[in-house]
Amino acid sequence: MTVAPAFARGLIEATEPPEYRGVPRDGVRMLVTDRRSRSHSHMHFDDLPQVLQPGDLLVVNDSATLPAAIVARRHDATTVALHVSTKIDERLWIVEPRDPVVAGETLALRNRGTAVMIAPVDSHRARLWYVAFELRVPMYAYLADYGKPIAYGYVAARFPLSAYQTLFAREIGSSEMPSAARPFTKGVVTLLKRRGVQIATVTLHCGVASFEAPELPGTERFIVGRAAAEAVNAARREARRVVAVGTTVVRALESAATNDGVVPAAGWTDLFIDDRHELKAVDALLSGFHDSSSTHLSMLRAFADSELLDDAYANAADRGYYRHEFGDVHLIA
């Protein structure tokens, strides 16, 4: 696996949504990397309508974020934090316990629910577990009543679920926000449409992230509908750019791509994309700034070689850009 740039560690951690530090959603900074000229421009996100060209196709992820962090209790009354990740069926889910658990253990949940720890998903790594839930209501309703958005240690406080939703959120199912789309506002979308930029949607439900460098991304559920497939194929036939908003969109589209174009597809994808992957459906990427150990950062190498990506992250670090879900964004075009 390629080594991620050390400069990623020089970026500032975004500990709160930009609105809480006096910056509107669409006012975050945007680094634009031009692959042809190998140059970088420093802008703000609301400049995007001027950066994209008429005819460009912007593809967004319409997955909505769940309040997927819940608390369970053992028989001795100690608590176990659970991050609910991926739905297998109504009862069986993939979950990340944030505290040690053992196979066969039954945990108590609020409203007389239970969670039985079945087994690790990977026998060599016990981060993710298969968990069988017994609840009095459907899981999504339970999470709405008792869950909170997943927040990691760098986040300064608990923020409402609305802070973790994008403008395009329609289909419930992501444990973590598809955050590249967070800066979009109705005003920016209006200007994009006036510019002649087209917008298509796909769905990919994000599982919980891993900060462990050797771990590949987990299997995720996705849908590429007929309208999105046809829009992508038309754009590529007509030599118009397909711009993916986030690594989740890249993963969905490339999972539905064939040598003859993108086909409607729905199901599970375990596709891992890095510099060895030949892109078939996407020409440009709008993404956040990622950790140096992140597999999301590895995906960026399918769009920019190591030298150019290192230089981009060095530029961002020198200018004090923010990383993580509440941070700034990076357009590689």
**Running along the chain, 333 residues long, what does each successive block of 10 average in pLDDT?**
50 97 98 98 99 99 99 97 97 97 98 98 87 98 98 94 98 97 99 99 91 67 99 99 98 98 98 95 97 77 96 97 98 98
Helix boundaries (H) for the chain? 48-51, 139-146, 186-195, 226-237, 247-255, 295-300, 306-318
Q: Are residues 254 and 313 in the same domain?
A: yes
Q: Are 118 and 134 in contact (CB under 8 A)?
A: no
pLDDT of residue 255: 98
d(CA 101, CA 113): 17
Residue 154 falls within a domain, yes or no? no
Give me the number of domains the chain comprises: 2
Residue 202 falls within a domain, yes or no? yes
Q: Are residues 129 and 261 in the same domain?
A: no
d(CA 83, CA 54): 41
The CATH number of whichever domain residue 229 belongs to comes to 3.40.1780.10
The residues facing 16 across adjacent strands are none
Q: Are residues 223 and 281 in the same domain?
A: yes
* Strand pairing class (257-258; 261-262): antiparallel
Q: Are residues 34 and 130 in the same domain?
A: no
Q: Are residues 300 and 249 in the same domain?
A: yes
pLDDT of residue 122: 87
Give the closest residue to 319 by CA, choosing from 124, 15, 28, 2: 28
pLDDT of residue 293: 62
Q: Are residues 207 and 287 in the same domain?
A: yes
Q: Are residues 201 and 303 in the same domain?
A: yes
pLDDT of residue 5: 47
| Domain with 104 in it | 69-146
Q: Are residues 215 and 277 in the same domain?
A: yes
Q: Which residue has the tokens 């771990």?
A: 215
The CATH number of whichever domain residue 85 belongs to comes to 2.40.10.240
- For residue 160, with 0-12 CB atoms within 10 Å meaning exposed, 13-18 middle and 19 or more buried, which class applies? exposed
pLDDT of residue 4: 43
Q: Are residues 202 and 221 in the same domain?
A: yes
The reported pTM is 0.94
Q: Which residue has the tokens 């990427």?
A: 285
pLDDT of residue 3: 41
